[in-house]
Amino acid sequence: MKNGKKLWALLLAGTMAFSLTACGGSGNNNSADSGSTGSGEATQEENDTAGEAAADEDSGKTDSGERQKLIISCYLADDAQVAVREKYIDEPLKAAFPDVDIEIKMYSDRQSLQVEVAGGGGPDILDLDGPTDVAEFAKADKVLDLGAYADQYGWKDMFYEWAYNSCFYNDKLYSLPTSFEGMVMYYNMDVMEANGWEVPKNKDELVTLMQAAKDAGLIPIIFGNSDYQGAVDWLYSTFTSCYGGPAAIKAAMEGTGKYTDEPIKNSIQTMVDWWHEGYIGENASQSVSNMDMLAFFSEGRGPMMIDGTWASNQLLATYPECNWDSEMMPQDEAIGEILPFATGGGYAINANSKNPDLAAEVMNYLFTSLDRHYQSINEAGYQPYPLKEFDLANLQGMDAKLMDQYELLMRAQDENKIGYCSWTFYPSEMRVYMNENTDSLFLDVLTVDEYMENAQGYIDAAREAGTIPVLP
């Protein structure tokens, strides 16, 4: 998943409401070959041109009629990220499709992409931020049902079942998952060793460590969301999965239980209590940015940080001297070890595309050119596609910390220790509500009961509408 993601909500054309998924903070998405880097900002003139191009002849050819054209969306990135994208996406695509003009078009924010798509234009392939984001486009009929292409290319058999099923909305497949990721606890091992602390094995040991860190004048668990309010879903996804339990969440989504049931409610209460104790963000998370989080952690201002697996690549690139490790959240022994899982993004085909068959062919190429994919993981730290064929043996020689983390993800998956991140497994409106109101819990504007009851209301609405996500 990531250089980061952000939350926003936009009411467009009276009917379209969109929300961005959580997996990172800044709006960039470093998921495996997800088209998440870009080379220049889309101007209004470029946006208008794209809209006009999408309305051209059904053949998908350029004005000259000589070559087909295909546009794939992506996001703002620095020069180094652009170079990586060109090596692992642009150049391989041009070689594989020599008769097609393929453009990777950068968007500085999601709103400009929304406007194009709502206006009848936009890229052919939309690089979106996971199932909850895709669902908003699907509600407005702005992305295509991929069922026929799935049959044509055998996609169902290619992907892990949990990741593939998460891409369904209202019983239709609207996207393919571009990576898989999870929430983990990061440890600054220099801080841990300097204080004689050991990595906690369970929740009780974690509480003891947090108090010891606080007594030592450190921030026990570094966290911040000043630049991305929705980063709170990293927290509540972790607490509900690890301390409420996947079984309780699944029951709530499937209607055999409620989100207001004691296990989930108690996990949210624990999160709030720890924030008030100064264990999470030292009561100041609203004034600390995502980048501050990484800096504070690397500088040793605290021993721990709750973050996604995407943060590993950020740490290696920005703070190479930081001595860190990552593990599953210390377990509640009544629940066992849990790693909250998510898909890091999703490719969807714009309903406005005049050449959806070519778009599907390009998508299939990206998911089947595995030599290119392994190289992108080894050399650039991209996150893996959730493919059954994915083999860790092909990553030998890569950074040891990254390898450890991939092995952790695979072990959690193989041993069915999967929890549920909101940006993949919650109804989109529920997630928007929780992202916008979790800070209100911390600041005593909302009670836990009010918060949980409101969240349950969104589950009830999604169940009635038949739009509950598929949970593994």
202-223: pLDDT as tens digits: 999 999 999 999 999 999 999 9
216 φ, ψ to 5°? -85, 5
CB atoms closer than 10 angstroms to residue 342 = 32
Give the residue with greater pLDDT, 304 vs 54: 304
Q: CA-to-CA distance for 385 and 14, rounded, in angstroms?
A: 36
422-440: pLDDT as tens digits: 999 999 899 999 999 999 9
Q: CA-to-CA distance for 175 and 454, rounded, in angstroms?
A: 29
Q: What is the DSSP string of 31-63?
A: -TTSS---SSPPPHHHHHHHHHHHTS-TT-B-T
Q: Where are the alpha helices (DSSP H) in 328-447?
A: 356-368, 370-380, 400-414, 422-425, 428-442
Q: CA-to-CA distance for 252 and 259, rounded, in angstroms?
A: 5
Query: Vertex 209, ends 283 and 285: CA angle to 5°?
Result: 20
> What mean pLDDT comes out for the span 190-213?
98
CA-to-CA dists, residue 305 to 109, 217, 220, 238, 333, angstroms? 27, 16, 8, 12, 21
Q: What is the DSSP string of 115-184?
A: HHHHTT---SEEEESSHHHHHHHHHTT-B---HHHHHHHTHHHHB-HHHHHTTEETTEE--EE--EEEEE
Q: Find residue 92's DSSP bridge partners.
A: none
Give the residue with greater pLDDT, 101 vs 47: 101
> What mean pLDDT comes out for the span 442-467?
96
End-to-end CA distance of the chain: 20
Give the residue with greater pLDDT, 16 vs 140: 140
Q: CA-to-CA distance for 210 and 417, rounded, in angstroms?
A: 25
362-410: pLDDT as tens digits: 999 999 999 999 988 888 778 889 999 999 999 888 889 989 999 999 9
Cβ atoms of residues 213 and 277 within 8 Å? no
Q: What SS3 class is residue 289?
A: coil
pTM given for the model:
0.83
Q: What is the DSSP string of 180-212?
A: EEEEEEEEEHHHHHHTT----SBHHHHHHHHHH
Q: CA-to-CA distance for 233 and 10, rounded, in angstroms?
A: 19
Q: Confidence class of residue 78 from pLDDT cuts 50, 70 and 90?
A: low
Task: Give 42's Cβ-side CA count (13 Å radius).
Answer: 31
Count helices and strands in the chain by DSSP H and E runs: 21, 15
CB atoms closer than 10 angstroms to residue 65 = 10
pLDDT at 20 over 50: no
pLDDT at 173: 97
pLDDT at 399: 87
pLDDT at 5: 35
- In the chain, the domains with their CATH numbers are 9-180+343-415 (3.40.190.10), 181-342+420-465 (3.40.190.10)
251-297: pLDDT as tens digits: 999 999 999 999 999 999 999 999 999 999 987 778 888 889 999 99
Q: Which of 165, 164, 46, 21 is nearest to 116 (CA)?
A: 46
Give how far the C-alpha of residue 395 lies from the chain's centroid of Cα atoms, to the nearest Å.
22
pLDDT at 52: 44
Q: What is the largest CA-CA distance in the chain?
A: 71
